Chain A
Amino acid sequence: MKSERNNPLPPVSIQSIGAVTPQGRDLQAIGKRLEQPVATTPAVLQVNDEFLSDPAIGSRMRRADRFARMAAVAALDSWAGAKDTCANVPKERIGLIVSSGFGPHCRGFRFIDGILDCGDSDALPTDFSHSVHGAAAAYITELLELRGPSLSTTDFEIGFEQAVLLAQCWLDQQVCDRVLVGAVEEIGEVLVHCASRMLDEKTFVPGEGAVFMMLAPTDAKGLARLEATTEPRDIDLLMLDAPANPSRMARQPLLPTRHTTTFSPYFGHSPSSSAFQLLGGFLSLRAGRPLGRPIQNAAHAPAHLEAVDKVATFKPSCDPRVTSLLITKG
């Protein structure tokens, strides 16, 4: 079997983006942080709890954990940004796709605490119901009163890319008129422990957060256009999920581009890293110049850019299926 040759679907229009990250929740503030060099990268990049409350949530998520809260606040921010353009779209016509690698695993371990401490028949039902992957999506649909298709997915490499591809599918086939698509990862102590033993801590810094975007059909006016693709061409800025240690970057193959950058030192690494790279790329597009940490590579030294109109994420380690997300202005 050969790989898919490319994505035949038209790009979609990004109506809004909402995010909660280790660099904050406000997009303008995050953009400013991405302009500043990172002196030292901490061992873990976590989201500050202060960003996880919201008047729109009130007490409706009192039983929810950080995983569901991160997803909810990012989705709410995206929703707020798209309010005007979604005003006339029936809630039945708005779909939701939530991708994650590890899902709400911290709550899963809390449920196992209950099994180990109290026995199989006395663990808490609230911990169980919140430990399933779909819990975050359930809160989002309840908060936003969405009635369209809702999907939660898991993948350790290309979950967000495949979620965007499916959103393109749904919009092209008129399954929905809007799709709220997002990625969320939570980092807990068990995962940090595992990462420290399984991965080189010089190259891998666990990160968490959530990024959501409201997507509309290709002809809708929006902030930028987005598509999942196999190999983006003629790009100004390539965003790589790069190792924390830049010297290790030189080993990785790159696509032809005028400038390469990474946002990993700001957001960390996770199965959903590309959503955060995409966020950095979008903010670069908006700023008109590359943000993040430039990557020096013998073959592709950073060039001075007059403008940034076309940016893409790329996962060099993955096989050649849809592993890239391309954003263009307009």
Chain B
Amino acid sequence: MERSSVWIAGVGAVSSAGSDISSTLDAFANARRNPSNTLPFESSITCPTFQVATALPTLSPALNRSRSLRLAMKAVREAMVEAENKEFDRNARLGVCIGTTVASQLNSIPFYDAYRRDGNPPLESVHDYLRANLAQAIGELLNVSGPRMTIVNACSSGTDAIGVAANWIRAGICDLAVAGGADELNRVAMAGFWSLGVMSSQPCAPFDRDREGLNLGEGAGMLILESASHAHKRNKKHGMEVAGFGAACDGHHLTAPHPEGRGLDAAIRTALSQAGVKPSQIAFINVHGTATTENDRAEGKVIARVFDSHVPLVATKGYTGHTLGAAGGLEAVFTVLGLRKGWIPASVGFENHADDIPVAPVRQRTTIDGEFALSTSLAFGGNNAALLIRRTA
């Protein structure tokens, strides 16, 4: 079956690494990270987090209380400007596909505490939750009525969202799509990951021998995807495209990855075969690299099995923390930036090769050369996704 191109017309990112693309690249170039030991909420848990310090867009009062939505809109607006959205055909159909975790849950502790105490809590947080479904709210803010989907596949949500949006465009359901992920720091998620025993008391060290676990972060990473016909209509030539996408589940365990990375292996091979690309053609991989023992081990085994051991790897959660539903969106943007700039940053936090991981990420800024790069995601529930991006100019 002939596959039509899905172009990447613009990207936007906000995370602890930077408030936009430019400041993110600056942090990457200088291997600078900003973990914080102060939480934005009260909690008995003490551990580093990666927070967004920049001002976020002010939305209507009804939406402004959703930090995830404001993070998302910050990245969407940056991506839209780069995509030169003012040139979009006014009859174009725009879809919105967003991954998240925190924004999908009614997890207001004050609301529930009040419900338990007197059975008559204020309902403001329930109204907020209902209004701030990310795809629904972003669709309304952008005044569009194309397809929409909020994906809640835990840590692979952002990558899955980009894959789904690419499916829509290839199917002719929409001409353009906003795709990516967004998530905020939240006390419930913090307590949850703590309860699982996968958080580190130190700034995280993905793929490292001494890795202790993950740090939570917040942010948003967004892509504007465009069909070939729409780009042609506005005489636009883009330099990046979504060349392949693969998703596969382990069917193994609710929280742990399959020890041999069965689903990730399948997802990567699907993404490569869609584009007819050999593993040796991959310029670099932006790994999921949560810095948890099991994730990094399983992911490392798969990469060693599928790829030439010399393919450069970059683990970017050392800069952003684990931003959960946003991670796949952010890392897709970072993959685009690597191909665009011709270099990948040092995998900050990684120092020592781990005996149980057969591959290692780069320790310093590394020049890369090639057309294709891959971003991988593993998630709760055994979900795995791989996104293949191609530089065409």
Say how far B308's CB is from chain A's closest CB, in angstroms: 25
Q: Which residues of A contact B106 (CB under 8 A)?
A: 102, 105, 108
Is B307 engaged at the interface, CB distance under 8 Å to the other chain? no
Q: Which residues of A contact B337 (CB under 8 A)?
A: none
Q: Judge whether A154 and B145 touch: CB under 8 Å.
A: no
Q: Judge whether A4 and B381 touch: CB under 8 Å.
A: no
With A142-B251, A142-B253 known to touch, is A152 a contact of B148 (CB < 8 Å)? no
Q: How far is the CA of A315 from the CA of B184 in the complex (A)?
A: 32
Is B168 engaged at the interface, CB distance under 8 Å to the other chain? yes
Q: Judge whether A128 and B192 touch: CB under 8 Å.
A: yes
Say how far A231's CB is from chain B's closest CB, in angstroms: 13
Q: Which residues of A contact B145 (CB under 8 A)?
A: 1-4, 319-321
Is B160 engaged at the interface, CB distance under 8 Å to the other chain? yes
Q: Judge whether B149 and A149 touch: CB under 8 Å.
A: no
Q: Which residues of A contact B1 (CB under 8 A)?
A: 173-174
Is B392 engaged at the interface, CB distance under 8 Å to the other chain? no
Q: Judge whether A103 and B153 touch: CB under 8 Å.
A: no
Of chain B, the residue at the smallest CB distance from A197 is B123
Q: Which residues of B contact A169 (CB under 8 A)?
A: 167-168, 171, 173
Within 8 A of B (CB), among A67-116: 91-92, 96, 102-103, 105, 108-109, 111-116
Q: Judge whether A155 and B197 touch: CB under 8 Å.
A: no
Q: Which residues of B contact A115 (CB under 8 A)?
A: 109, 187-188, 191
Say how far A144's CB is from chain B's closest CB, in angstroms: 8
Q: How far is the CA of A119 from the CA of B106 in the complex (A)?
A: 19
Q: Judge whether A96 and B249 touch: CB under 8 Å.
A: yes
Is A135 engaged at the interface, CB distance under 8 Å to the other chain? yes
Q: Judge whether B167 and A170 touch: CB under 8 Å.
A: yes
Q: Which of B93, B135, B164 contacts A4 (CB 8 A)?
A: B93
Q: How far is the CA of A105 from the CA of B1 in the complex (A)?
A: 42
Q: How far is the CA of A5 from the CA of B143 in the complex (A)?
A: 16
Is B14 engaged at the interface, CB distance under 8 Å to the other chain? no
Is B133 engaged at the interface, CB distance under 8 Å to the other chain? yes
Q: Which of B111-119, B297-305, B348-356 contacts A (4 or more CB under 8 A)?
A: B111-119
Q: Judge whether B151 and A151 touch: CB under 8 Å.
A: yes
Q: How far is the CA of A168 from the CA of B172 in the complex (A)?
A: 12
Say how far A102's CB is from chain B's closest CB, in angstroms: 7
Q: Which of B127, B135, B195 contacts A125 (CB 8 A)?
A: B195
Is B214 engaged at the interface, CB distance under 8 Å to the other chain? no
With A141-B382, A155-B150, A321-B148 known to touch, is A121 a contact of B192 (CB < 8 Å)? no
Q: How far is the CA of A83 from the CA of B213 in the complex (A)?
A: 42
With A92-B266, A116-B113, A135-B254 known to touch, is A154 a contact of B133 (CB < 8 Å)? yes
Within 8 A of B (CB), among A250-290: none
Is A190 engaged at the interface, CB distance under 8 Å to the other chain? yes
Q: Which of A103, A116, A134, A156 contacts B383 (CB 8 A)?
A: A134
Q: Which of A114, A133, A162 contacts B152 (CB 8 A)?
A: A133
Size range of the chain B interface in the assembly: 35 or more
Q: Judge whether A198 and B126 touch: CB under 8 Å.
A: yes
Is A150 engaged at the interface, CB distance under 8 Å to the other chain? yes
With A147-B251, A156-B133 known to touch, is A8 a contact of B173 (CB < 8 Å)? yes
Is A26 engaged at the interface, CB distance under 8 Å to the other chain? no
Q: How far is the CA of A145 from the CA of B142 in the complex (A)?
A: 40
Of chain B, the residue at the smallest CB distance from A91 is B251
Q: Which residues of A contact B148 (CB under 8 A)?
A: 155, 158, 162, 321
Q: Which residues of B contact A139 (CB under 8 A)?
A: 254
Q: Judge whether B119 and A145 touch: CB under 8 Å.
A: no
Q: Judge whether B164 and A166 touch: CB under 8 Å.
A: yes
Q: Which residues of B contact A201 (CB under 8 A)?
A: none
Within 8 A of A (CB), among B153-167: 153-154, 160, 164, 167
Q: Judge whether A150 and B249 touch: CB under 8 Å.
A: yes
Q: Which of A119, A132, A134, A168 contacts B44 (CB 8 A)?
A: A119
Q: Judge whether A166 and B383 touch: CB under 8 Å.
A: no
Q: Judge whether B164 and A172 touch: CB under 8 Å.
A: no
Q: Which of B142, B150, B172, B383 contacts A150 (CB 8 A)?
A: B383
Q: Which of A2, A109, A123, A157 contacts B195 (CB 8 A)?
A: A123
Q: Which residues of A contact B263 (CB under 8 A)?
A: 147
Is A223 engaged at the interface, CB distance under 8 Å to the other chain? no
Q: Which of A5, A154, A172 contacts B104 (CB 8 A)?
A: A154
Is A137 engaged at the interface, CB distance under 8 Å to the other chain? yes
Q: Which residues of B contact A149 (CB under 8 A)?
A: 247-249
With A154-B104, A166-B167 known to touch, is A132 a contact of B381 (CB < 8 Å)? yes
Interface centre among B173, B247, B266 (most CB of A within 10 A): B173
Q: Which residues of B contact A135 (CB under 8 A)?
A: 254, 380-381
Is A34 engaged at the interface, CB distance under 8 Å to the other chain? no
Interface centre among A108, A113, A120 (most CB of B within 10 A): A120
Q: Judge whether B146 and A321 touch: CB under 8 Å.
A: yes
Q: Judge whether B112 and A194 touch: CB under 8 Å.
A: no
Q: Judge whether B172 and A8 touch: CB under 8 Å.
A: yes
Q: Judge whether B151 and A190 touch: CB under 8 Å.
A: no
Q: How far is the CA of A139 from the CA of B109 in the complex (A)?
A: 27
Q: Which residues of A contact B151 (CB under 8 A)?
A: 151-153
Is A165 engaged at the interface, CB distance under 8 Å to the other chain? yes
Task: Please give 16 more A-B residue pairs, beta carbons under 8 A apart, in addition to A108-B106, A155-B133.
Answer: A1-B90, A109-B112, A112-B113, A120-B43, A120-B45, A123-B195, A129-B255, A131-B192, A138-B249, A141-B251, A146-B249, A151-B151, A155-B136, A156-B130, A194-B126, A321-B146
User: Chain A: residues with CB nearer than 8 A to chain B?
Assistant: 1-5, 7-9, 91-92, 96, 102-103, 105, 108-109, 111-116, 119-125, 128-135, 137-139, 141-142, 144-158, 162, 165-166, 168-170, 172-175, 190, 193-194, 197-198, 319-322
